[in-house]
Amino acid sequence: MVRFFKFCILILFTFFTCNQLFASDDSAYTLPIEWQKVELQKQIEEKLNTSLTAIIPSQKYLLNINITLGAVKTIGVGGGKPTSNQNFPLAKLGLNKNSAAYKNAIATGVDSIFTRINGVAVDLILDNKITRNQEAQVKNFISQTVKSYTEKIPSVKVTRAVLLQEDTLQKDLQVAQVNVQAAQALAEAITKSNDKIAQAIAATQGVKLPEENKTETKNEDKTKQALPETWQEWVIAMKIPIGIVIATMLLMMAINGFKRFESQKVALMAQANATAAQAAQTPQESNEVVEEKVEEDKTQNSDGLAAFTSSSGDTGFSQFKRMAEQYPETAAYLVKLWLNMNTKESNEALAVLPKMIPVESLVGVFGSLEDKLKSQLKKTSNINIDAATVARADGFIVSQMVDTFLVNTIVLPDELKMVLSEMSMEECVECYRRDNRLGAAFINVLQTAQLGKLFSLLSDEEVTALFQDGLSFNADNVQYLADTLPGLLESIRADKQKVRVPLLDKAMDLIKELGVEKESQVFDMLIASGDSDQVIEATQKFFPSELILKMPPEKMRTLINRFPTKERATLIFSRPQDEQNLFFAAIGESGRLRDIINSELAEIQKNDKLKNQIIKDQSKIWQKFVTTSRDAIRKDSSIKEAADVLLEQWLQEKGVSYSGGENASSAA
C-alpha cells in the first residue's frame, strides 16, 4: 500500500512538473526585453573589439554601444488569449528555452529585441595618432556590423583624445578593468543562478491566472513592478546598485594610484628645481663652492642610490660584485672593454661602480689595470651621478654581461680577447684603415656598443664598406685577426709612443686649485704637450674664463641672471671698464634690471669702505661668477651650443682640432 501511494505521488509530481514545463501555447506573459538589449550590446561590442584590432591597436580606441528601444509591448503566445486556471513559467529569456511558450514567442516574432530596436548609437574614442583613413575604415566596419543585426542605420560619434599609456597609470587602470570585469562576471553568475532557483520555485508552486471578467484590471496591475519578497529577488533587484558600488570603489583605487604617480612626479620636479636654485647660491670662496657642491651632490646622490638599491632586486651591480669576487680576471676584462670603449654609457657605469659596490670587492679588478687605464678610470669620478644615471648604468652593465657571455656565439682565443679588451676604438679605426681585411672580423666580433663608437669615428663610405665586409665573415677572418692585430697595434702605438709626464694627469686638479687667474697657464701647458684629448677634456670641464665675456649678448644676459641678484652690481663694479661695457651691452640700455643695477652702482660709489672691499675681493667675485657660468653652460643646452662654437674657434687658434661630439658630452 505504501508503495502504491508513493507511486501515485510520483505520477502526480511528474504530471505537475511536465504541465509547468510544457505549458499551453495560450499562456500570456510579458517578454523581458531589457536584458536582451544588454546581451545584444555586449555581443556587438565583443564582435567589434575582436575585429577592429586588425585595423587599429586595441589600446588606441574605446568603444561603447547603446541601443534605444521603442515602447514596451505585452504579447500573448498563441493569440494572446489566456485561459483561466492555467499556470505558466515566469522564466527569463535564455532560460528554459525548451518551453513551448518561448519557442512560439520567438517563432511568431510578435515582440523581441529585434522588433523593438529604435536606434543604435556608437560612441568611439580614438587616439590622436590614428589616421583619418583608419578612422573611415573603422566607421565603415562598425556600420556594416551593426546592420547585420538591425535595419536601423547606426549613428557613429567619433571623439579624438590622448589615450595615456604611462607605465604606473596603465597598470593601475588595467588592474581596475580586470576587477570590474570580474565583479560583473560574478554578479551575472549569481543573478543567473538565482533566476534558475526562482524559476524552479515558480514551476513547482504554480502561478494562477486571473479570471476573464477581470482581465483588463489585472493587466493594468501587471504593468506595476512588485516589490521583491525573497532574498533572491532582492539580490536580483539590487544587482545594478551593487555593481555601481563595486565599480566606484575600483575607480577610486585607480584614481588614488594616479594621484600617487602625479605626486611623485611633482616631487621629482621640485627636487630638480631646488637643486638648480641651490647650485646658483654659491659661497664666497671658490674652493668652498666646489667642495660644498660636491658634498651636496654626494648627499643627494646617496639618497638616490639608496632608493635604487632598496627598490631593486638582483641588479647588474650585484651580479658584477659576485663576478668581481669570484672571477676578478673576467670582471677586469669587462672594465678594460668599457674604458677603451669610452662612451657616455660606459663612463657612467665606471663612475657608478665604486659607489654601488664595496671597494674591497673591486681591488682585485682595478688593481690589474695599466697605469693609463687607471688614469682614465680616475677621470670618470668627475661625472655627476644621480638616480637616473644609476639606472642607466645598471642597464648598461646587464646588457654588456649578456652580450659578452650569453649572446656572443663566436669563440675567440683568450689572447685575442685580451688584445681586443686593451684596444681603444681610435686604435681600431687606425687598424681598419691600415688593413681593410680586418673589417669583417671587427664588425662581427666587437660588441654593439663598441660598434656604435666605431661607426661614429668612420666616414659614411667606410661604414658602408665595413657592412659589406661583414657579410663575408667566416672562421678564417678570426684567425687572421688573431695573427695580425697584435703586431699592428704594436706598430700603431710605437708611432705614437711618447713619455707621458705625470703633471698632465694633474692638470684639472691644478685648474681647480689655482683658480681662474692662473688657469690660462695650465691650458697653455696642456696645449704645448700635444695631448689633444687632455686639452678637450679640461676645457669641457673648466670652460676657459676668457671666453665667457665673448658669449653672445643674449647668452651673457642669461649667465648674469643665474648670478645672485644682490651681487650683480658688485660683479660689474669689480671688473675693468671694457668688461663693464660688455656687461651693460648684455643687460641692455633700459629695463628693470638695468635700473636696479644702476641704482646699486650709485650706492657703491657713495660708500668708500664698500668700494675698497670690492676691489680687495675682486678675484673671489670673478671666480664665483665663472664657477656659476660654467655650471650653467653644462646644464643649459642652448648656452652650451654657443659655448662650443667659441671653444672650437679658440682651440683651432691654439692648434687643437675639436668637434663638439661625443667626447664633449661625456666629459661634461
Beta pairing, strands 117-127 & 155-161: parallel
User: What is the layout of strands, in order, in the sheet containing 117-127?
Assistant: 61-69, 117-127, 155-161
Which pLDDT score is estimated for 80? 45
- List pLDDT tens digits, range 599-639: 999 999 898 999 899 989 988 999 999 999 999 998 888 89
- Please return the burial class of 118, using the count of CB atoms within 10 Å of its CB with bins 0-12, 13-18 and 19+: exposed
What are the distances in angstroms from CA 97 to CA 22, 91, 101, 105, 341? 11, 9, 9, 11, 75
Q: Where are the beta strands (DSSP E) in 331-485?
A: none
Residue type present at position 267:
A
Which pLDDT score is estimated for 169? 59
In the predicted model, residues of the chain with pLDDT beneath 70 are 1-32, 71-111, 163-172, 204-229, 231-232, 235, 263, 265-314, 404-409, 496-505, 657-668
Which residues fall within 8 angstroms of residue 603, CB to CB, at 6 or more apart?
none
What residue spans in the chain does CATH classification 1.10.220 cover?
A: 529-667
Which pLDDT score is estimated for 514? 80
CA angle at 614 for the pair 608 and 617, rounded to the nearest 5°:
145
- Here the cell at position 341 is 670603449
529-667 folds as Annexin V; domain 1 (1.10.220)
Which pLDDT score is estimated for 625? 92
Length of the chain: 668
Residue 411, SS3? coil
Place of cell 651650443: 641
Report which secondary-structure segment, H or E, holds 61: strand 61-69
Residue 69, SS3? strand
Which pLDDT score is estimated for 628? 92
- Here the cell at position 355 is 659607489
- List pLDDT tens digits, range 290-324: 344 444 444 444 444 444 444 445 677 888 888 88
Residue 19, SS3? helix
2-229 folds as GMP Synthetase; Chain A, domain 3 (3.30.300)
- The answer to whether the CB of 357 falls within 8 A of the CB of 348 is no
What residue spans in the chain does CATH classification 3.30.300.20 cover?
A: 2-229
How far is residue 85's CA from residue 315's CA, in Å, rounded to a whole number? 79
Which residues fall within 8 angstroms of residue 473, CB to CB, at 6 or more apart?
440, 441, 443, 444
Which pLDDT score is estimated for 68? 86
Report which secondary-structure segment, H or E, holds 166: none
